[in-house]
Chains A and B, each alone.
Chain A
Amino acid sequence: MMTLANGPLRVDLKLIAEMVEPGARVLDVGCGEGALLDWLGRNRGVDGRGIELSMEGVSAGVAHGLSVIQGDADTDLKDYPSGAFDYVILSQTLQATHEPRKVLENMLRIGRRAIVSFPNFGHWRVRAHLLFRGTMPVTDTLVYQWYDTPNIHFCTIRDFLDLCRELNVRVDKSIALDRDGRVLPLPRAAGITNLFADQALFVLSRDA
């Protein structure tokens, strides 16, 4: 039987995991082999479901006893009923979706809260790369060349916040992360965060 990679949870996933209260209903979109769901099930008694694009990821997850379906964020969120989950999680995947806006809307429709993390295209290294080299940025967090990247909808933290405002989405929490997913102790100013955060993590809810 296939097993999930043993060992500690990835730093950014650990951060997400600790935001979820015990017994919550969680949908992890782009769950990979289900490491987060597995941890939440064991440690938080969470009723977890996953959606994953890769056949290998789904097989590994299901073979590990997790409830995972093969599908993707663009096409498979629309079927879920409103309010079906307490949390809908999208970790490092938003930038790879075809319609990020619709994905975000669906996440907040089917979940009470959404937890979203993404690489920040506004980081100074990305800006400097484009400014000085004049080529599409390839960095430690953004490792693909322009022609083979699955990341088709990059955004900066500022872009993301603008979209949240447009969608009347409340930002309950925002965390700046370094390239390894560790929390960056930055002052709470969007301009500074947008310049120095490699990744950003947001907890969102519908504006009541």
Chain B
Amino acid sequence: MPLLVARLRAKMISDLMSAEETLSPSDPTLPPDRRVELGLDRPIRLDCGVELGSVTVAYSTYGHLNADRSNAILICHALTGDHYVADPHPITGKPGWWADLVGPGRLLDTDRYFLICSNVLGSCMGTTGPAEIDPATGRPWGLSFPVITIGDMVEVQARLIDHLGIDQLFCVIGGSMGGMQVLEWAHSYPDRVFAAVPIATAARHSAQNIAFNEVGRQAIMADPDWCDGDYQSHGLRPKRGLAVARMAAHITYLSEPALHQKFGRNLQNRDRITYGFDADFQVESYLRHQGSTFVDRFDANSYLFITRAMDYFDLAAESGGVLANAFRGTRTRFCVVSFSSDWLFPTPESRAVVHALNAVAANVSFVEILSDKGHDAFLLDEPEFHATLAGFLDGAAAHRGLPPPTGQRRYGR
């Protein structure tokens, strides 16, 4: 890990540990990155059988928890996301991944809701993961980190919600792997989830998606700097492997129309092809850029563990082979959203979830949003998507007895 990142992290932790002691959860002056150690009283038992004595969780909150503690929304981030939902990323300086959706009068209205987002277990932005130090050995976990599941991520989030003194979440929302967590929440803690919004996701990882993840992992492992997962001890990082993994994955987040519109066959800073292996095409240059910037902010072993957690996700298998069983008796209000050009989590995956919810007569809305932006559409400015979400949240808020929005709504950029 670069020295800069390590220093930044150390500083943030020291700042935050002191903040934690003096401020209440709803204090708006809290920094965007806070830490808490969970599982000290009751160890967290993972699906693989390993017990984690305690887990550090990095998280952000926005807005105020109301007196009834009934207005909390848990935002679940995707594979390479983090808890910088609305604040600039500490390493890249880029705006938060859902900055357009969070704020006063915005869709996730900080005047009405108390928003929580935590960095998932196994990730690398402050929450316990393979890049952190194993207290038992005093060395980085690396590959000795236990293989985690989406269920384990949700278990840790549930501990955080306990810590914040919240019994029932008004809503759990997230896209892609975040949507898997939403479904897992609705399955594991049906009484703690009033409304659930799984976006561009699936109840199980498809064979094609496992295949793509495997390509990414093999790229990382093929990099000599990976050192069998022990690169931190050698002061190295498998940058090339991780960059290739990101490049391959990034293609799956887009669509052919999106790539065509953005780049077509346009050449990069040249008039003609060079008969070589330079990045002749803009699309190559773009992908290389995506790969090289990604390695500055993400840990390669985290990428291995989190993609594995996605591969293992299969809600039907957890429920006797019938997906509907995962939701039997649910009183949660669901809003399932897919995007027409998403080929990573195509609409039939969402429809399977909807059919399962129908089979148990659950309260469910389902919209396929017409978009040519591919899987990434859930992160982008899609007015119809945002109008749908706003309507669903307002409807759910009315049923939960939360006040309606006041003043002008602000959507988009």
Residues of A within 8 A of B (CB): 1-2, 47, 49, 55, 58-59, 61-71, 76, 79-81, 84-85
A55 CA to B385 CA, complexed, in Å: 11
Query: B210 in the interface, Cβ–Cβ < 8 Å?
Result: no
Q: How far is the CB of A3 from chain B (nearest CB, A)?
A: 10
Q: How far is the CB of B222 from chain A (nearest CB, A)?
A: 43
Measured between beta carbons, the chain A residues less than 8 angstroms from B361 are 80-81, 84-85
* Cross-chain contact B358 with A80 (CB below 8 angstroms): yes
Measured between beta carbons, the chain A residues less than 8 angstroms from B360 are 81
Measured between beta carbons, the chain B residues less than 8 angstroms from A79 are 355-356, 358-359
Seed contacts A55-B370, A63-B392, A79-B359; 6 additional CB < 8 Å A-B pairs: A61-B365, A62-B367, A63-B391, A65-B396, A67-B364, A69-B354
Partner of A49, one of B356, B363, B409: B363
Measured between beta carbons, the chain A residues less than 8 angstroms from B336 are 69
Measured between beta carbons, the chain B residues less than 8 angstroms from A2 are 387, 391
Residues of B within 8 A of A (CB): 333, 335-336, 351, 354-356, 358-361, 363-370, 384, 387-388, 390-392, 394-396, 398, 409
A81 CA to B360 CA, complexed, in Å: 7
Q: How far is the CB of A155 from chain B (nearest CB, A)?
A: 27
Measured between beta carbons, the chain B residues less than 8 angstroms from A59 are 367, 369, 384, 387-388
* Cross-chain contact B367 with A58 (CB below 8 angstroms): yes
Contact flag A70-B391 (CB < 8 Å), given A1-B409, A79-B358:
no
Measured between beta carbons, the chain A residues less than 8 angstroms from B384 are 59
* Cross-chain contact B388 with A55 (CB below 8 angstroms): no
Measured between beta carbons, the chain A residues less than 8 angstroms from B390 are 1, 63
* Cross-chain contact A69 with B358 (CB below 8 angstroms): yes
* Cross-chain contact B367 with A70 (CB below 8 angstroms): yes
Measured between beta carbons, the chain B residues less than 8 angstroms from A84 are 361
A49 CA to B354 CA, complexed, in Å: 13
* Cross-chain contact B388 with A63 (CB below 8 angstroms): yes
* Cross-chain contact B333 with A67 (CB below 8 angstroms): yes
Is chain A's binding surface mostly helix, strand, loop or mixed? Answer: mixed
Among B335, B359, B365, the one with the most A-chain Cβ atoms within 10 Å of its Cβ is B365
Among A55, A58, A66, A67, the one with the most B-chain Cβ atoms within 10 Å of its Cβ is A67
Q: How far is the CB of B369 from chain A (nearest CB, A)?
A: 8
Q: How far is the CB of A94 from chain B (nearest CB, A)?
A: 20
By beta carbon, the residue of chain A nearest B361 is A84
Partner of B366, one of A63, A65, A69: A69
Among B333, B359, B398, the one with the most A-chain Cβ atoms within 10 Å of its Cβ is B359
* Cross-chain contact A68 with B365 (CB below 8 angstroms): yes
A66 CA to B229 CA, complexed, in Å: 50
Partner of A81, one of B359, B363, B388: B359
* Cross-chain contact A66 with B365 (CB below 8 angstroms): yes
Q: How far is the CB of A147 from chain B (nearest CB, A)?
A: 26
By beta carbon, the residue of chain A nearest B333 is A67
* Cross-chain contact A62 with B388 (CB below 8 angstroms): yes
By beta carbon, the residue of chain A nearest B384 is A59
Contact flag A76-B365 (CB < 8 Å), given A65-B394, A81-B360:
no
24 inter-chain pairs at a CB distance below 8 angstroms, sorted by A residue, are A1-B391, A1-B394, A2-B391, A55-B367, A55-B368, A59-B369, A59-B388, A62-B391, A64-B395, A65-B394, A67-B333, A67-B364, A67-B365, A67-B395, A68-B366, A69-B354, A70-B367, A76-B355, A79-B355, A79-B356, A79-B359, A80-B358, A81-B360, A85-B361
* Cross-chain contact A70 with B388 (CB below 8 angstroms): no
By beta carbon, the residue of chain B nearest A69 is B366
A188 CA to B368 CA, complexed, in Å: 45
A61 CA to B388 CA, complexed, in Å: 9
Measured between beta carbons, the chain B residues less than 8 angstroms from A71 are 351, 354, 366
Q: How far is the CB of A26 from chain B (nearest CB, A)?
A: 12
Q: How far is the CB of A177 from chain B (nearest CB, A)?
A: 31
A59 CA to B358 CA, complexed, in Å: 19
Closest 5 CB pairs of A and B: A65-B395, A63-B391, A69-B366, A84-B361, A79-B358
By beta carbon, the residue of chain B nearest A41 is B395
Q: How far is the CB of B196 from chain A (nearest CB, A)?
A: 13
Measured between beta carbons, the chain B residues less than 8 angstroms from A47 are 363
Measured between beta carbons, the chain A residues less than 8 angstroms from B358 are 69, 76, 79-80
Among B355, B367, B370, B384, the one with the most A-chain Cβ atoms within 10 Å of its Cβ is B367
* Cross-chain contact B391 with A69 (CB below 8 angstroms): no
Q: How far is the CB of A203 from chain B (nearest CB, A)?
A: 22
* Cross-chain contact A58 with B366 (CB below 8 angstroms): yes
Measured between beta carbons, the chain B residues less than 8 angstroms from A80 are 358-359, 361
Measured between beta carbons, the chain B residues less than 8 angstroms from A81 are 359-361
Measured between beta carbons, the chain A residues less than 8 angstroms from B364 are 49, 67, 69
A55 CA to B368 CA, complexed, in Å: 7
A85 CA to B358 CA, complexed, in Å: 12
A70 CA to B384 CA, complexed, in Å: 15
Q: How far is the CB of A63 from chain B (nearest CB, A)?
A: 3
By beta carbon, the residue of chain B nearest A77 is B358
Contact flag A69-B365 (CB < 8 Å), given A1-B409, A80-B358:
yes
Measured between beta carbons, the chain B residues less than 8 angstroms from A58 are 365-367
A65 CA to B405 CA, complexed, in Å: 13
Q: How far is the CB of A76 from chain B (nearest CB, A)?
A: 7
Q: How far is the CB of A185 from chain B (nearest CB, A)?
A: 39
By beta carbon, the residue of chain B nearest A25 is B361
* Cross-chain contact A62 with B359 (CB below 8 angstroms): no
Measured between beta carbons, the chain A residues less than 8 angstroms from B351 are 71
